[in-house]
Amino acid sequence: MSAFKSFVRICPLKATLSHTRFHLSLRTIDPPVVYHRLLLFRMNKPEGIDAESIGNGVAGPSWKAPELYCMEETCPHLGAPLSHAEIEDIEDTKAIVCPWHQYDFDLKDGSSSTGLQACTYDVQVRGAEDDAEVWIEAPHASSDASTREWELVEMRGVSEEFLDPPMPSLSRLSLAADNDFTSRSNFSSDPAELPEDLPTSLLGFAHLILRTSNPELKCLLTREAVTRLRAGKLKSIRPTVGEIKRERERDGGLLDEPPREVEPIAPGRTPRRGKGGSEKSRILMLHALANIEQYAIDLAWDIIARFADFQINGERLPVAFFLDWAKVAEDEAKHYTLLARRLVELGSFFGAHSVHAGLWESATQTAHSLSARISIIHLVAEARGIDMNPLTLAKLQAAGDKESSRVLEIIHADEITHVTTGHRWFSWLCDKRGVDPIETFRAEVFANFRGKIKGPFNAADRLKAGLTPDFYEDLAGGLGLNTDRGNEPAPGGKVDPKALAVAEGDEHIHPRLT
């Protein structure tokens, strides 16, 4: 590696005072797109200043930057997630201890008593007091890293367990629900309980959760699976071929559609939700979103179960793939929990109104292809969500519904990271195949989606997730069109507008709550 180091600006120092640990996702600015994920650790607070005073220009002359460390997000041994690992003082050095096999790694240089070496990154605090900024050494895992320019695309705190200081407003509203998921998801008089005999693998949990009809139990199982994953209590994350075969031969194997306690109806038969001016209208909005989140939990587990044996050029999916979608499932379970609780606070409950299964129809349509699944579910449907959420949020805010607004703000921030996850793995697939991501995406949309990709587009948040306008502008799906009658797409996924006039469009994948 070259002695020259380049650095990437991460954030103002004051932004690190909310948590003691942060997930960082960096991305190359120029194609081919490469993602890299790191963890940032803050061991103490700036001296001579406190969390309340920073940002107000009152720091004194004794100001001293905090102790910050940065390293890879996963263990170099078998890819265990290090976000929740313990930090110990070992021979006057701070070391992180992998939860799976207790390997220790010095946070400063990555050395280990086992002889393994973790990749760490220099952290600089540039400036002082109110103007201080955090910069991190650019990734150097790839051979051309020294010539690549990187940007930060995501910085998120590592759960409520690492909040510093605690945030009473979020705790009171149960908005994060990241470290107390079980107690906060029990809304009924007969709460869901975890079964005694639980799976010992991530794949086993995926199949069990997909077979579970009770959404509260689905959330509990999701939280339990991710908790055991982080603690190293699962026997496998990336399943063996034998394990995949056994799970698919048990209890119906891969499901065509997960069971539901609320029978879905056709998308076009759901009631009009209004514009959010009345409480009834807002309840219908939140109910529709809770239904989407319920299906989103299953979609995250289904991509793990359905594509567990996927190979590309003879290479299986890496452990990071399974870790990423388990985290997405955890987020979606949190979102459902927040929405279901808010419905109860408004005097309703999930299941009080009709729902549709349009999102799962798209999952069925893309069950044959990982590329198609990511394209339609995560780069079309979830991207549609980040378009619509701010518009819905404006309706809630105009109605003075602060509690529902805060819920939707949390959901929206997470959804951007989910589209980023989809973009990351779609880019990975395209890189492995040696194909252009934008051309491939537009072809997948034409083959597996019905109707025009409609605006308005939240271009700023789409860009945060990696979706430049070339991905989605002037784009339509040709699913169901009669290609024998001249409706083949023009270059770039364009189709005859007259042909689209009879196409279904995309209302069935995400509620248009405006």
Contacts of 326 (CB under 8 A, 6+ apart): 202, 225, 226, 229, 300, 304
| pLDDT score recorded for residue 49 | 52
DSSP 154: E
| CA-to-CA separations, 130 to 18, 23, 106, 182, in angstroms, rounded | 16, 23, 30, 40
Percent of the chain at pLDDT above 70? 81
Rg value, the chain, Cα: 23
ω into residue 81 within 30 of 0, thus cis? no
pLDDT of 353 > 90? The answer is no
**pLDDT band of 226, cuts 50, 70, 90:** very high
Mean pLDDT score across all residues of the chain: 85
Contacts of 125 (CB under 8 A, 6+ apart): 13, 65, 66, 68, 132, 133, 134, 135
Which has the higher per-residue pLDDT, 281 or 177?
Answer: 281
pLDDT of 211 > 90? The answer is yes
Distance CA 373, CA 396 (A): 32
| pLDDT score recorded for residue 188 | 47
- Weakest mean pLDDT among 97-101, 340-344, 373-377, 482-486: 482-486
Mean pLDDT of 473-495: 62
User: DSSP for 294-315?
Assistant: HHHHHHHHHHHHHTTT-EETTE
pLDDT of 482 > 90? The answer is no
Q: In what order do the strands lie in the sheet containing 93-97?
A: 86-90, 93-97, 104-106
3-class SS letters over 368-397: CCHHHHHHHHHHHHHHHHHHHHHHHHHHHH
Distance CA 414, CA 421 (A): 11
| pLDDT score recorded for residue 476 | 93
pLDDT of 179 > 50? The answer is no
Q: What is the pTM of this model?
A: 0.84
| pLDDT score recorded for residue 168 | 41
Using one digit for the tens of pLDDT, what is the confidence trace for 400-419?
A: 999 999 999 999 999 999 99
Percent of the chain at pLDDT above 90? 67
Mean pLDDT of 153-166: 84
| pLDDT score recorded for residue 206 | 98
Under a CB-based contact definition with an 8 Å cutoff, are residues 378 and 421 in contact?
yes
pLDDT of 186 > 50? The answer is no
| pLDDT score recorded for residue 94 | 92
Q: CATH 2.102.10.10 region(s) of the chain? A: 5-44+64-155
Mean pLDDT of 311-334: 96
Q: What's at 382, amino acid-wise? A: E
User: What is the C-alpha end-to-end distance of the chain, expressed in Å?
Assistant: 53
ω into residue 456 within 30 of 0, thus cis? yes
pLDDT of 316 > 90? The answer is yes
pLDDT of 40 > 80? The answer is yes
Which numeric CATH code is attached to 5-44+64-155? 2.102.10.10
Q: Residue 19: left if φ>0, alpha if ψ -120 to 50, beta else—which one? A: beta
CA-closest candidate to residue 110, choices 152, 157, 69: 69
Distance CA 452, CA 470 (A): 15
User: DSSP for 272-297?
Assistant: P---SSSHHHHHHHHHHHHHHHHHHH
